[in-house]
Structure 1
Amino acid sequence: MALMICALLGLLVVALVYQYLTWNFGYWRKRKVPGPSPKPLTGNYPNMYTMKRNPFYDIKDVYSKYNKDYDMVGIFLGRSPQLLVLSPELAHRVFVTDFKSFHDNEMGNMVDEKSDFILANNLFTMKGEQWKQRRTDITPGLTMSRVKTVYPVTNEVCGKLNKYIRKQIRNGPQGGINGKDLSLCFTTEMVTDCVLGLSAQSFTDHPTPVMENIKNLFDQSWLFVINIVMYTMFPIIRNFRRLRFIPLSVEKFFVSLMQNAIDAREEQRAAGKQFERVDFLDYILQLAKKHNLNTRQLTATTMTFLIDGFDTSATLLAHALLFLGRDAKIQQRLRDEIKANLNAQGFVDFEKLHDLPFLDACLQETLRHFPPLASSNKLCTQRIVIPNRKGPAVTIEPGTAVIVPHACFMKDEEYFPNPEIFQPDRFMEPNAAKSYRDRGVFMGFGDGPRICIGMRFALTQIKAAMVEVLTNFEVKVNPKTRKDNLFHPFGVVTKLEGNIWLDFEERS
């Protein structure tokens, strides 16, 4: 009898758990929104726990099944409903036309200043008027004129990159040079110097801890993944516990680094030395006086410059070298364009750097293959009704998570024939990138009012590095690098699975 009661209680518990995991699965059906049937625990993300493949591929499976018939479908992350955008026209509406109904990123609901001060004060997570004010404050610090001011520093760092590669060649690494680490060394040195006026010593045998902390910033632990899973299974947790994305140790490091930069600048001024460039730190210090910011607040503001410039730029550079290493003809064509525009000092003048059409096309095509974010998780902020092709119109309520899968559009045969092939000529027509973006099929840096604020600075440093490398070296892909373009299963920024191993040969 006791055994039977235990068995019945066990069945009751199982039934209650199952009911909890699935009771929300009627959310989209009640609203007459089509979509695939979700599974308990994982919803429509079968690799949610195993991380055997990037979540993008789970989204792509849904996209491929429904995009011919619908503009949007309802899916579930665990038991949390999401609206998946399937048409580029609707994607453009979300980012541009109807921006007021989708002006926040979902990540903004997961952090606050108590849980993660740095990320909560980053433009990516800030919401509403707070975001608008911060963007207004920061935008003047990233104008082309200010980027031009630090261009001499950019070329100095390119010279360090050149010497570092030559040293690696002399050491003769049989397995090639790690392209991701090489690119991160470059962007770390670049951003630390241009933004803070400090050297990270990235190309020396004894680098400062900056690079190590950058890696810790973007390489999230399994604990973070577990927290995300708990958020999807128990949304009520968000009401009393928010996420910490940036580890506390990393936050403390960058606050200390910021203070060092401020102290160094003040010491120079106290000694009567005129700092030669009006750089980003100069502008940030002006903001600090204007808004009476302390060092921690100043660091949070500065991290907008740093986060956009470190990992995302390094990833773009590494993948661009990967594609050029795979295709000697495209590499030589780009080298010829660069050589025709070199000045007497061996680099391209700032004005000409952004007027090299094939260089720009190579980077845009790289972004098409590996956008920084495979998808964007937006948040509906104002009720809106949108038609849905073969289905009834959908009323999207405030608080609804809306997923825009950029990579699906950028890898769709309909918009980009032979999408897996690296073809920079797709972007050689005048304003090709803008044309694709206006159609909603290309969002390498996003679109609309929340387009990447650091885009100009990122492209300048990457183009300068490409000029330096291709002028002085032949780039080849080491055989141990994978030959496909498979996304790494986990990570905030989209990357090739495994490392990018490159071989360099000095040009005479």
Structure 2
Amino acid sequence: MWTLIGVLLGIVHVAFAAVYLYLTWFHSYWTKRGLVTAQPLTLLGSYPGLFGGGSSFIEDIGKIYNKYKGKERAVGVFLTRQPQILVLDPQLAHEILVTNFSDFRDTVTSSYVTHSKDYDKYVSRNPFFSAGDEWKKHRVDAGAGLTPNKLKQAYAIWEQTGEQLVSFIQSCIEERGSNIIETRDLCYRYTAQAMGDFIWGIDAGSLTGSAKETSSFQRISTEWVTHAFLGMTRLNRTTIAPIVRRLFRMRFFTQAADDFYLKLTRDAAKLRQSGSGGERSDYLAHLLQLQEKGASLDDMVGHALTVLMDGFETSSAVLYHMLYTLGAYPEQQEKLRSEVLAALDVDKRISYEQLNALPYLDQCVYESMRMTSVIGFLLKICTRPTKIDLGNDRILNVEPGVTVAIPAYHFHHDEAYFPQPDEFRPERFDNGAISELTKRGCLLAFGDGPRICLGMRVGLLSVKMALLRILSQYKIEQTKKLSLSSDSGLGMYLNGDVDLRYTRIELSK
């Protein structure tokens, strides 16, 4: 009996030692290469929040960032057992994203779908999840339908959706007998309506139906994008044992969502080809042009979902965060309203060019994005042997496959770059400061370089049109203070219902 117990204990000790060695084998990796290694490290790496350690990925990055910023350009960390470089100097971030882009061409997300291309087929067609030459082709094909000229041609879609938005707000007030509206849902409804119309030429029903109901398009799109974003957190955890991804057939997009968007795209294409919609300028028209050049139906679905991911969830997040913020800053809200009203013509309309040329609107949007950072960090992969200048005559040799983390949220909240970072101060972006701060690597609202957010223009158009329509007719006020947290691990989001008060403005004739 005692012999058996001794053998079992020996096996347990050997197994524990094996696991310990497996998890910590690379923990001397950076020290050997002359890069300061952030301490303390757990057996699960530098980010215990990935595994529910009472913190989030962004909070874990923040602890390391605040300890070493100003002392080092970068430090060594570990994503579970995988060696990673955490950038602390915004200028180094700019070098990685822009100057030396070819050395860091791919993103970590592209490495998460190499196991699932045969069954998660629409993810692999998204530039955000693509690598190498595939990324370039997908980006060119998808992005050709999002140029300023293409969006200008489709501008009537946003004009109509903006009008539907304020009509929906008024109907909510009348139907519920209260001018307090849950604004997170309102913004999802708006971006669902805009993207359904722009991408597929459909009435998504999210602003044209009852305020008490959620349209199937909005519901499925919300479930789809939520599953995709949570998938990034799940796959981050599997860097301990990447084989788990294949064993459990882990995927970003559910099969039900794939089936829904495949049918939607097929039906919308057939309807357009039958003559319905005529010469309508929208993203569906672009997809049909790609089809004529040899794109498959699956390619079309993949490109459609690429635009939906940026134009639906992230755009709505930027919008409700900004409305919430404006509700606490009446002076800035009034200044923005004055700019908007002055730009509208006698018919209360504004051109595409004029909307994109409103300076204070631009400043307010970027300041709101700086404060909340819906994507709080960027993860890049070294794609060929290169060197990083660490300063003080130290050069770090970086091997292909090493990942690099760029803490956008922490740059955005560093007093060295943005004094009083918790204050909403759009004026900090006066006189071309947006461009200048981006070049310095301090402002990464959309990332930077060749892999800058593909949906940046369509997202900005959606947000600006909504703000213009709402502020020209309603005063916004907060009804309660909400905290921010990193619920999905990707960015910082408001907790709870975003209940704002919408008071109709009576303008003098």
> TM-score band, normalised by the shorter chain?
over 0.9
Q: Is the 8 A contact 2:122 2:258 kept in 1?
A: yes
Q: Which runs of 5+ in 1 are unaligned?
A: none
For residue 46 of structure 2, what is the aligned residue in structure 1? 44
Deviation of the 1:239 alpha carbon: 7.6
**Residues 406-458 of structure 1, C-alpha deviation per residue, up to 9 Å, x if partnerless?**
111111000000011110001122x2111000001001111111112222221
Deviation of the 1:225 alpha carbon: 7.0
Q: Select which of 270, 279, 291 maps to 1:288.
A: 291
Using the alignment, how far apart are the partners of 1:435 and 1:487 within structure 2?
Answer: 29
SS of residue matched to 1:74? strand
Using the alignment, how far apart are the partners of 2:70 and 2:486 within structure 1?
Answer: 28
Q: Say if 2:475 is the partner of 1:474.
A: yes
SS of residue matched to 1:82? strand
Using the alignment, how far apart are the partners of 1:64 and 1:401 within structure 2?
Answer: 20
SS of residue matched to 1:309? helix
Question: Structure 1 residues 229 and 368, CA, compared in 2 at 3 Å: closer, same or farther?
Answer: closer
Q: Is the 8 A contact 2:233 2:489 kept in 1?
A: no
Deviation of the 1:115 alpha carbon: 4.0
SS of residue matched to 1:116? coil
Question: Structure 1 residues 321 and 223, CA, compared in 2 at 3 Å: closer, same or farther?
Answer: closer
Deviation of the 1:53 alpha carbon: 3.6
For residue 490 of structure 1, what is the aligned residue in structure 2? 488
For residue 183 of structure 1, what is the aligned residue in structure 2? 187
Q: Is the 8 A contact 2:42 2:48 kept in 1?
A: no
Deviation of the 1:11 alpha carbon: 2.3
Deviation of the 1:324 alpha carbon: 0.5
Q: Which runs of 5+ in 2 are unaligned?
A: none
1:155-174 matches, cutoff 5 A: 155-172=159-176
1:395-434 matches, cutoff 5 A: 395-429=397-431, 431-434=432-435
Q: Is the 8 A contact 2:58 2:489 kept in 1?
A: no
Question: Structure 1 residues 135 and 490, CA, compared in 2 at 3 Å: closer, same or farther?
Answer: closer
For residue 64 of structure 2, what is the aligned residue in structure 1? 62
Letter in 1 for 2:223: N
Using the alignment, how far apart are the partners of 1:225 and 1:316 within structure 2?
Answer: 20
Size of the aligned set, in residue pairs, is: 499
SS of residue matched to 1:177? strand
Question: Structure 1 residues 173 and 426, CA, compared in 2 at 3 Å: closer, same or farther?
Answer: farther
For residue 123 of structure 1, what is the aligned residue in structure 2? 127
Q: Is the 8 A contact 1:380 1:398 kept in 2?
A: yes
Deviation of the 1:399 alpha carbon: 0.6
Deviation of the 1:9 alpha carbon: 2.7
Using the alignment, how far apart are the partners of 2:375 and 2:262 within structure 1?
Answer: 27
Using the alignment, how far apart are the partners of 1:507 and 1:227 within structure 2?
Answer: 46
Q: Is the 8 A contact 1:178 1:502 kept in 2?
A: yes
Deviation of the 1:297 alpha carbon: 2.1
SS of residue matched to 1:385? strand
For residue 463 of structure 2, what is the aligned residue in structure 1? 462
Deviation of the 1:492 alpha carbon: 4.2
Q: Which moved more, 1:85-94 or 1:258-267?
A: 258-267
**Residues 237-272 of structure 1, C-alpha deviation per residue, up to 9 Å, x if partnerless?**
568776411111111111111112112212225xxx
For residue 233 of structure 1, what is the aligned residue in structure 2? 240
Deviation of the 1:171 alpha carbon: 3.6
**Residues 139-192 of structure 1, C-alpha deviation per residue, up to 9 Å, x if partnerless?**
331121211112122111111111111122224476932221111100110011
Deviation of the 1:274 alpha carbon: 2.9
SS of residue matched to 1:402? strand
Q: Which moved more, 1:414-423 or 1:30-39?
A: 30-39
Q: Is the 8 A contact 2:179 2:502 kept in 1?
A: no
Q: Is the 8 A contact 1:41 1:233 kept in 2?
A: no
Q: Say if 2:347 is the partner of 1:345.
A: yes
Letter in 2 for 1:500: V
SS of residue matched to 2:51? coil
SS of residue matched to 2:477? strand
Using the alignment, how far apart are the partners of 1:375 and 1:414 within structure 2?
Answer: 18
Using the alignment, how far apart are the partners of 1:348 and 1:222 within structure 2?
Answer: 35
Using the alignment, how far apart are the partners of 2:174 and 2:196 within structure 1?
Answer: 28
Q: Is the 8 A contact 1:18 1:40 kept in 2?
A: no
SS of residue matched to 2:444? coil
Q: Which moved more, 1:468-477 or 1:225-234?
A: 225-234
1:21-100 matches, cutoff 5 A: 21-50=23-52, 52-100=54-102
Letter in 1 for 2:414: D
Q: Is the 8 A contact 1:220 1:491 kept in 2?
A: no
Question: Structure 1 residues 417 and 195, CA, compared in 2 at 3 Å: closer, same or farther?
Answer: same
Q: Is the 8 A contact 1:101 1:383 kept in 2?
A: yes
SS of residue matched to 1:382? coil
**Residues 461-507 of structure 1, C-alpha deviation per residue, up to 9 Å, x if partnerless?**
2111101100111111122x41x5x2333254542233322111111
Structure 1 length-normalised TM: 0.93
Using the alignment, how far apart are the partners of 1:61 and 1:263 within structure 2?
Answer: 53
Using the alignment, how far apart are the partners of 1:265 and 1:422 within structure 2?
Answer: 45
For residue 271 of structure 2, what is the aligned residue in structure 1? 264
Using the alignment, how far apart are the partners of 1:263 and 1:178 within structure 2?
Answer: 37
Q: Is the 8 A contact 1:111 1:242 kept in 2?
A: no
Q: CA RMSD in A?
A: 2.2
Deviation of the 1:351 alpha carbon: 1.8
1:253-332 matches, cutoff 5 A: 253-268=260-275, 274-275=278-279, 277-291=280-294, 293-332=295-334
For residue 111 of structure 2, what is the aligned residue in structure 1? 109
For residue 384 of structure 1, what is the aligned residue in structure 2? 386
Deviation of the 1:29 alpha carbon: 1.7
Question: Structure 1 residues 175 and 347, CA, compared in 2 at 3 Å: closer, same or farther?
Answer: closer
Using the alignment, how far apart are the partners of 1:41 and 1:232 within structure 2?
Answer: 13
Using the alignment, how far apart are the partners of 1:234 and 1:192 within structure 2?
Answer: 39
SS of residue matched to 2:343? coil
